Each structure stands twice: as C-alpha cells, then as structure tokens.
Amino acid sequence: MIQGSNMAECHPVGFRWVMEAKARGAKVVHVDPRFTRTSAVADLHVPLRAGSDIAFLGGLVRYILEEDRWFRDYVVHYTNAAALVSEDFRDTEELDGLFSGWDAESGHYDPSSWAYEGAPASVPTAHRETATGQPGPERSKHRKPSRTDPTLQHPRCVFQVLRRHFARYTPEMVEEVCGVPRALFLRVAETICANSGRERTTAFCYAVGWTQHTIGVQYIRTAAILQLLLGNVGRPGGGILALRGHASIQGSTDIPTLYNLLPGYLPMRKAQADGGLAAYLERNTAETGWWHEFPKYAVSLLKAWFGAAATAVNDYLFDALPAIDGDHSHMAMVAAMADGKVKGYFLMGENPTVGSMHGGLQRAALRKLDWVVVRDFAVTESAEDFWREAPEEVETEVFFFPCAAHTEKDGTFTNTQRLLQWHHKAVEPPGDCRSELHFMLHLGRRLKALYAGSTDAKDRALQALTWDYPTVGPYEEPDAAAVLAEINGYRVADGAPVAGFGELAADGSTACGCWIYSGCCAGGENGPARRRPAGEQSWVAPDWGWAWPANRRLLYNRASADPEGRPWSERKRYVWWDEAAGRWTGHDAPDFPVDRAPSYRPPRGARGVAAIGGADPFVMQSDGRGWLFAPNGLLDGPLPTHYEPQESPIENPLYPQQRNPARLEWRRRDNPYHRAAGDPRYPYVLTTYRLTEHHTAGAMSRWLSWLAELQPELFCEVSPELAAEKGLAHGGWATISTARTAIEARVLVTRRLPAIRLKGGVVHQIGLPYHWGSKGRVRGDAANELIGFVADPNVSIQESKALTADIAPGRRSRSA
C-alpha cells in the first residue's frame, strides 16, 4: 500500500522490488490525489482529495475494528490495547474535535490527561517539548500502565477508546471527506485485510505526501495504528516505510544537523529545565525500557566531543553546551532572520529559496543578513536572486565555495533503510572545490586559533573540542575514516573501537559520537564499506554496508515471532527463539535481549531493560508495547484526528474544529494565509511534487542536459474540466496564485489529475512539480514560492501538499 508517496517516480530503483513483489502475486494499492507513474502499474488506484488521508486511514481502522479483522494474538500481546487510560482523558468525540488538556490561551495542549492510569504526566519528548515552557520529566516517568484489561472490554482500555474515537470514520464519511466512492474504499479495506495475518503481511510506503501537512505526524500515527491492528510491524514484508528523498537525509537526522537534537536522538540542553548534567540525565532516563540506558550515551558523546577536558567533576562539560528555549527550526530561524536577528548564515548544499517554502520570505531574510556562505556545485538561486534584483540596496556579503562531488571524497551516506554505505573517493576535487569535511575542519582550526588565548567561559567548549583529525592528500582533506571511528566510539583508555553501544559506559571510560551508529566500525573494520555481492549472501544481505542499530535490518523483529517465540508462520519466518541454544536467532540480528526467554516476566519494580518482558517486542518503549494510543510524545493528541489543512476550500465535515488546533503559524504581514473555507479568491486545491527526471530544487538536475531535455519546463497539471472552466489551453501558459504570490507554468491538461466529487460539490485540484528556478540549463518559476510558513507542531514541517490556489490563463505580470 503506497500512500503519500509516488514511489515509482521518486524512488524508481526501490520500486524495482515492489514490481518484483507484484510479479510474485502481491497487490499494489496506490492512494494518491494524482494518477502517477506509480498508479500506472498499481492494481488499485484510489484518487482522494489532497489533505484527507487521515479520514481515509481512519476509515480503514474503523473497518478493521468493526468487521473484527484485527490480529487478536498480536494486538493483545504486542500493543498497548489492554492498557487503561487515565480517568481524566476526554476524546474529540466529547469535545467537538479537541482532546482534553487544550489551553486556548497558550494554544498548547497539556498532555497530562493522556497518560496511562497510574503513570505520572510527562511533557512530550517531541521536538518542541519546551514550547510549553514548563520544566519537567521527559522520558523519566515513562513506565508501564498500572492496570490492563487483556479482555479489552474495559471502557477505558486503549482498545475501547480507539473504537469510540474512530466510530464516526464510516465509509460514508470517507466518501464525504475524501471523495472516495464507498465501493472503492471497501475494495482497499478488503485487500489489506486479506493480505494481513499469520501467513501474509502488508507494507505501507509513505513519503513527504504524508509529512508535509499541519497534521503530518498524525498521518503516520494512523498508519502505525492500522499496521499494529493487522499485526504488520516487526515482520518481514510489513512495516511502515518512510521513503526519504536524499542520499543521506536519514544520516542528517541520525547525526542531526537539527537544532533540537544531539547525535543519536538525544535531546538538546533545555534552558527552562536546566539543572546541569544530573537533571538532564534524570529527565531523559526512562524508568523502564531501553531509554534507561540514556546516561551511557549522553556521557560518551560529551567525552567524544570534549575529550580529556570532560571529567565527572566538571559534568563532562555539559554546561558548555548551548541551551534551546523554544522552536528554532528552519521556519522560525528564517523568520528571525527576516526580523534582522541573525548576522551570518551557512547554506551547505541547500537552496532554500527554491527548495524550501515561501521563496519571497526566504529572500527577504537573506537580505537582512550581514553575510551568507553558500557551498554548492554552481551558484544557486539562494546565492544570487536575493541581491540581483536591487544590488545597491542589499548589504549582505555572499561567499560562494565550490564543493567537491561525492566522487571526490570518502564518506558514508545513510539511506532510507538506515543502511550506512561508504563511498570511495575516485578523483581529487578540481580547483578550489573542497568537501564540507574540509571546510568544517579548517574553519574549526581557524576559530580555535582565533580563540586560543581566551579565558572567557563562553569559549571553553571550543577550546576543549577534540579537533585533531588526521588529514590526507595535497589539499589536507580530513580522513573521513577517522571521523567515522569517533562516531563509532572507542575506549578512552586505549582508543580501541567499541564493538557496539552495549559497551558504552556512563563513567567517562568510553567516548562515542553517535550511540546508534556504535558498532559500525567494530573491531576496526569499516562496516559501511563492506561489499559482499548480493549473490553471495542471504536475502537479508547483512554483509553489504552496515545498518544501525547493531547492523539490524528490520526493527522490532522480535514481533516476527509469536509470544512463545515461534514464527507466526513458515512463510513469514524471520527471527525466532532457539530453545536448545537458549537464545534468539534467525535471518537478522534479533532486536531484543538475545538471551531473554519468551517466558521471562520482569519482577516487580524491575527497571530499565530488565523490565521488558520476554514477549514485549518494542524495547524502546517504556512498556515494550506498540502504541495504538500514545500516552505521551505528541503535542497534538494521543490519537489521530482528521483536520482540514491550514488552507482548505471546504469545512471539516467531521468536527467543528476546522484545523489542527496545535499547528504552528507565523502570523506576520509577509506571510499571509488564506483562511475562510469557500473564499472565492482561491477556490482550488494545490498540491506539489517531484518528477523522476529532476531532483528537488534542481541544482543537481537542471544543469544536466540529459535530464533537462526530459522535463524542460515547469508545467501545471489540470483536469479537462478545470481547463474548460478557466479557459486554459493545453501547452499554453497559466498563472497560479496563492495568498503569497503568483507563478507561471505551461499547461498540461490531463485526466491524471481528477476533479474530486464531494457531497458539497466538486473540488478541482492543481498539480505543480517544484523543480524549477532561475538558474540552470532549463529555468522556470519555483512552485514553492506559493507555499506559506505553517507547520506541524511536533516536527515543524511545512504544509506544501495541500493548500488553496487560483489559476488563470496567461503569463504572470510581475517580474521574477
């Protein structure tokens, strides 16, 4: 089941395996507002209104519950269906689309009423955990529910809460919200139910078609609920696969160049909740479950960064870390820039005026900087457009550094399956082209020199920073292998590489740059560089590259066996308990304490990993269970609820609450929204996407003639009905406008972008690929100019997959 993704177009080689599965009898279902190249080869294509996925998935959840199609053994033993929820919890059914704990004043939820019965409240571990401004326990108070009801009958048990919550997501409602005919919906429901259970599994694939919404995280949560109910998590051929769009975008999340995280998903230091290292560890160390290990990872990171200077006495220099006290994510950062609060900006291989949202505001922000550094293959739109228009008015200095290509440097990419692969340097970079590794190392050396004499406490971290990486070659390129070795971790005493995160300690005896990557260089071998041919190893291919954690290819794979540790079925055999050997074994590295018998039941008061029962597969969770209901971790509700996008032409048919109440808005004159549903100014739904022939902002494809000739111009896709209604000529020009601005594109009239029929009437949709910009061999307007600053509260990802727009024949008037 592919939804929120156009896999065939955006991941063609990944799609190879979907076609392989299809050849072996698998059914491919594609749910998408457009008929894409994925739909073209799918067994079932379901067009739905952009931005209505939760209603559709919610409908499937209800169908599975009401038709009794859920996988009982799996649900009872592996999910929190039996857990009892706090008496204070109130559902959207009771509160007109809001959950209990909503504070209209602050515009935030107080999630304490969402907790398990008997479990203390805790602030969400989501990235804006400090947004409420309240210091408090994060993971530390996570623990098992005090009461459960394995019969799933108790009115407050998760299963019953779930049933009540999704009761109104009927096929009729799905038809009304999504525009999906009842018959088609039932066909999908039957297909996934028929392909789930002991013998078969269903996999979900999604991409930014799900994430780029003001309620994006809950899209994925709904899929998680579905997959847990059907028993499709932790099993081969199951799961929910995020199809990520860039070579190492997973890597830049694991080793986050993200403001709120430290490597390995450790939270950043929080200003409000500060109390030194002790408080930090206390708040983040779970009582039960794997996160009990937290201190080992945090202290090892500090040792890796500050080396000998980091000691138990000085809290391993934890206090030298900067603290965050709110949302400093991309849009917040650019807004601050536009307000003149930022002086210097580094853009490394990123082109936000085309690739991000609201190019106009992005350029305005760049104009307010003292200086900006851009590193790329060629001068990008972000490096030039903002000052080209009126150079005499723009003071910003711009440094353009040419970068080295992946063929000109060693290093690892982490792909969408968490697989680290080493790419070897083939040739030296030309001229002044250098790797980012080179840039950072030598910038660091210079800054260390500039601050060498300082006695100021603020410079302590920089001075203590371990930065003596060996360099190679004529250009003093840092040895990437040495950096990877630090990421893997080593024993401080003798510098020997650790074999994995199991060897890390909280006493400063080990250093590790990213605990989840620990083991990638076990025994000094470069794991990511392993290349045993596919033909010479098992189908799981454990000897190709290295997957985090612990070279595990399938997470939570203990769930591929039943509570007694036997495979659910022979067809789906993956990891199982070997009674004779007294350990877990199988095709993959077991994602479970390897010697923990299925029969193991934790003693009362057990803590940490010891508290995970032998039949509790989800070891990262405090209760070892898959969460149908999220007692904490989210800012916009413990259960998914359909809300309309920030900009929608219709009113929410499900609840009086129109939009996600907790969404992030940037209310400023330079970021107008189009609010009123039914406002005639922008009557159509606009959705944006990629094409196979180009790559994101186009800097890596529009210069390439072999790609540019395949998709030479920006075009908009409209239905014949809309074309007729607005007098759009096929192949002619159209101007597409939103509350922000207008762009022009060639018109491609096609039935592939259908008008959606709802009870209220017809909703026309406009499709726009976003690859074009003002530079390159082929040029055109950038679709993202149209998109505003508005985001999902949990992850601050913008909403670019569903907004409102108007379209008219002819070219736009304003100059680019």
Tell me which residues in 487-546 interact with other proteins (CB under 8 A).
Answer: 487, 513-514, 517, 531-535, 537, 541, 544-545
Q: Which amino acid is at 519?
A: G
Min separation Cβ 799 and other proteins, Å: 12
| Sole window of 77-85, 96-104, 338-346, 555-563 interacting with other proteins (rule: CB under 8 A) | 338-346
Beta carbon nearer to other proteins, 198 or 246: 246
For residues 45-83, one letter each, b for 16 or more C-beta atoms within 10 angstroms of the residue's C-beta and e for the rest, the string is: bbbbbbbbbbbbbbbbbbbbbeeebbbeebbbbbbbbbb
**Which of 719, 715, 744, 711 lies closest to 731, judged by CA?**
715
Least separation in angstroms between CB 335 and other proteins: 11
Half-sphere exposure (Cβ direction) of 490: Cα atoms closer than 13 Å: 17
Q: Say how far apart CA 45 and CA 718 lie, in whole Å.
A: 18
Question: What single DSSP character describes residue 521?
Answer: T
CA distance 47 to 179: 8
Nearest residue (CB) to other proteins, 145 versus 239: 239
- As a whole number of angstroms, the distance between CA 574 and CA 554 comes to 9
Which residues between 794 and 813 bind other proteins (CB under 8 A)? Answer: 795-798
Pick the closer one to other proteins by CB: 413 or 577: 413
Q: How far is the CB of 44 from other proteins (least distance, A)?
A: 5
When the beta carbons of 614 and 788 are compared against other proteins, the nearer one is: 788
| Contact between 643 and 657 (Cβ < 8 Å) | yes
Length of the chain: 816
Which of the residues 398 through 427 are near other proteins (CB under 8 A)? Answer: 398-402, 405-409, 411-417, 419-427
Contact positions with other proteins (CB under 8 A) in 578-637: none
C-alpha angle 763/768/771, rounded to 5°? 165
For residues 595 and 616, what is the distance between their CA atoms, to the nearest angstrom? 14
Segment 339-398, which members bind other proteins (CB under 8 A)? 341-352, 355-357, 370-371, 373, 377-379, 384, 387, 391-398
Strand residues in 340-469 grouped as ranges (E): 344-348, 371-376, 397-402, 411-414, 419-423
Min. distance of Cβ 380 from other proteins in angstroms?
Answer: 10
- Of the candidates 259, 254, 264, the one whose C-alpha atom is nearest the C-alpha of residue 321 is 259
Q: How far is the CB of 804 from other proteins (least distance, A)?
A: 21
- Which C-beta is closer to other proteins: that of 76 or that of 405? 405
One residue of 315, 703, 762, 809 binding other proteins per CB under 8 A: 703
Place of tokens 């000094």: 524
Binding region for other proteins (CB under 8 A) out of 308-316, 637-645, 729-737, 804-812: 729-737
Window 733-772: residues binding other proteins (CB under 8 A): 746, 748-752, 754
Interaction residues for other proteins, span 46-105 (CB under 8 A): 46-47
Q: How far is the CB of 192 from other proteins (least distance, A)?
A: 15
Considering only 150, 430, 678, 810, the residue that binds other proteins (CB under 8 A) is 430
628 close to 228: Cβ distance less than 8 angstroms: yes
For other proteins, the closer CB: 9 or 117: 9
CB 140 within 8 A of CB 119: no
Q: How far is the CB of 149 from other proteins (least distance, A)?
A: 39
Q: How many CB atoms lie within 10 A of CB 727?
A: 11
The binding track of 288-327 with respect to other proteins, each residue x by CB under 8 A or -, is -----------------x-------------xxxxxxx--
What is the Cβ-side half-sphere exposure of residue 333, based on CA atoms within 13 angstroms? 17
**What is the C-alpha end-to-end distance of the chain, expressed in Å?**
40
Which token pair is 327?
A: 């949302």
H/E stretch holding 742 reads strand 742-749
Q: Which of 706, 813, 814, 815 binds other proteins (CB under 8 A)?
A: 706
Amino acid at 236: P
d(CA 127, CA 138): 11
**What is d(CA 231, CA 562) in angstroms, rounded to the nearest whole number?**
11
Mark 199-226 as b/e (b = at least 16 C-beta within 10 Å). ebbbbbbbbbbbbbbbbbbbbbbbbbbb
Binding mask 217-256 for other proteins (x = CB under 8 A): --------------------------xxxxxxxxxxxxxx
Q: Which of 2, 3, 5, 8 binds other proteins (CB under 8 A)?
A: 8
Tokens of 705: 């003639």
CB nearer other proteins, residue 48 or residue 81: 48
Pick the closer one to other proteins by CB: 478 or 626.
478
Peptide bond into 549 cis (omega under 30): yes
By beta-carbon proximity to other proteins, the closer residue of 95 and 710 is 710
Q: What is the distance between the alpha carbons of residues 473 and 429, in angstroms, rounded to a whole number?
A: 11
Q: Which of 49, 283, 434, 764 binds other proteins (CB under 8 A)?
A: 434
Is residue 24 close enough to count as binding other proteins by CB under 8 A? Answer: no
Distance of closest approach, residue 265 Cβ to other proteins, in angstroms: 12
Residues contacting other proteins: total by CB under 8 A: 200
State the minimum distance, in angstroms, from the CB of residue 464 to other proteins.
8
**Shortest distance, CB of residue 461 to other proteins, whole angstroms?**
4
Q: Does 790 contact other proteins by CB under 8 A?
A: no
Query: DSSP assignment of 105-142, as one string?
Result: TTTEE-GGGGSBTTSPP----STTTTTT-----SSTT-
Please give the residues from 643 up to 702 whose contact with other proteins meets the rule CB under 8 A. 691-695, 700-701
x-or-dash string of contact with other proteins, 123-162, rule CB under 8 A: ----------------------------------------
Q: Which residue has the tokens 């055109």?
A: 780
Give the integer Cα–Cα distance in Å for 456 and 402: 35
Closer Cβ to other proteins, 152 or 336, answer by number: 336
Instruction: Determine phi and psi for 340, rounding to 5 degrees.
Output: 80, 20
Nearest to 230 by CA among 188, 200, 270: 200
Minimum gap (Å) between residue 255 Cβ and other proteins? 5
Answer for which of 108, 144, 165, 330 binds other proteins (CB under 8 A) is 330
- What's the rounded Cα separation, in Å, for the pair 704 and 757? 40
Which CB, 96 or 536, lies closer to other proteins?
536
The contact pattern for other proteins, residues 545-574, with x = CB under 8 A and - = no contact, is x-----------------------------
CA–CA separation, 771 and 752 (whole Å): 20
Closest CA to 316 of 269, 253, 284: 269
In the complex, minimum distance from the CB of residue 132 to other proteins, in angstroms, rounded to a whole number: 14
Residue 658, phi then psi, degrees to nearest 5: -70, -50
Q: Which of residues 3, 5, 39, 100 is near other proteins by CB under 8 A?
A: 39
44 binds other proteins (CB under 8 A): yes
- The distance of closest approach from Cβ of residue 666 to other proteins in the complex, given in angstroms and rounded to an integer, is 15
Minimum distance, C-beta of residue 629 to other proteins, in the bound complex (Å): 26
Site for other proteins in 174-203 (CB under 8 A): 180-181, 184, 187
By CB under 8 A, name the one of 90, 442, 607, 726 that touches other proteins.
442
Which CB sits closer to other proteins, 377 or 673?
377
Residue from 116, 166, 715, 772 touching other proteins (CB under 8 A): that is: 715
| Rounded-to-integer distance, Cα 634 and Cα 641, Å | 13
Q: What residues numbered 446-465 form the site for other proteins, per CB under 8 A?
A: 446-447, 450-451, 458, 461-462, 464-465
Tokens of 18: 């979907």
Q: Which of residues 255-274 bind other proteins (CB under 8 A)?
A: 255-259, 262-263, 268, 271-272, 274
Q: What are 61's two structure tokens? A: 């959840």
